[in-house]
A and B are shown apart, each in its own frame.
Chain A
Amino acid sequence: DGGITQSPKYLFRKEGQNVTLSCEQNLNHDAMYWYRQDPGQGLRLIYYSQIVNDFQKGDIAEGYSVSREKKESFPLTVTSAQKNPTAFYLCASSPDTFRQFFGPGTRLTVL
């Protein structure tokens, strides 16, 4: 099946630890995105990548890092520098028509 997968679905982390969220797509989309959603809020863009080996900061990139070594993969690392990392993280991809399609999300909780 074609689609976007995110893992894990739920993630628990101790303060001070880095954690990496996985995002994979087999839709052959060029662009990929990471968003953060807090309760009762809209989505905010963390990073996006238009092509392999290139990525751009979004509105709230501080405390996060990404890589884009393969077209189908765009992992997000939440570092210990992110002051309030507990949130719902959503990955998306888009073809050249820019319509965005989302994965199921990862709920990160910092204990």
Chain B
Amino acid sequence: GIQVEQSPPDLILQEGANSTLRCNFSDSVNNLQWFHQNPWGQLINLFYIPSGTKQNGRLSATTVATERYSLLYISSSQTTDSGVYFCAGGAGSYQLTFGKGTKLSVIP
């Protein structure tokens, strides 16, 4: 099956800093999503982005499908951005394989 590798595993930022999270895939995917899990366990879907670039406020994501990676950019980070960021991908439409996540801590 598809392997998903996320980096870095842990990230500590000062409030206001920018960051880039990376997700590499072992094989081609046509379903790629980014999620944020808050400290209470709730997962929020940030982006569905099998290719191209999308932006939503301070967050943006870029997927280069031909090179099998995706990037999540967080600008002007806030303490509420803390949590774990997961990327997940799949070759089909329904099954997703999740990475182990990047744990982000934003300190005031």
A residues neighboring B (CB under 8 Å)? 31, 33, 35, 40-45, 48, 50, 56, 58-59, 88, 90, 92, 94, 97-102, 104-105, 107
B69 within 8 A of A: no
Q: How many A-B residue pairs have CB under 8 A?
A: 53
Q: How far is the CA of A44 from the CA of B96 in the complex (A)?
A: 9
Closest B residue to A102 by beta carbon equals B43
A43 close to B33 (CB less than 8 A)? no
Smallest distance from the beta carbon of A54 to chain B beta carbons, Å? 12
Contact yes or no, A31 B41, CB < 8 A: no
Binding site for A on B (CB under 8 A): 1, 4, 31, 33, 35, 40-45, 48, 86, 88, 93-101
Verify B43–A42 contact, CB threshold 8 A.
no
29 intermolecular pairs with C-beta atoms under 8 Å apart: A35-B98, A40-B100, A42-B4, A42-B98, A42-B100, A43-B86, A43-B88, A43-B98, A44-B98, A45-B95, A45-B96, A45-B97, A48-B94, A88-B41, A90-B41, A90-B43, A92-B43, A94-B94, A98-B48, A99-B33, A99-B48, A100-B45, A102-B44, A102-B45, A104-B40, A104-B42, A105-B41, A105-B42, A107-B41
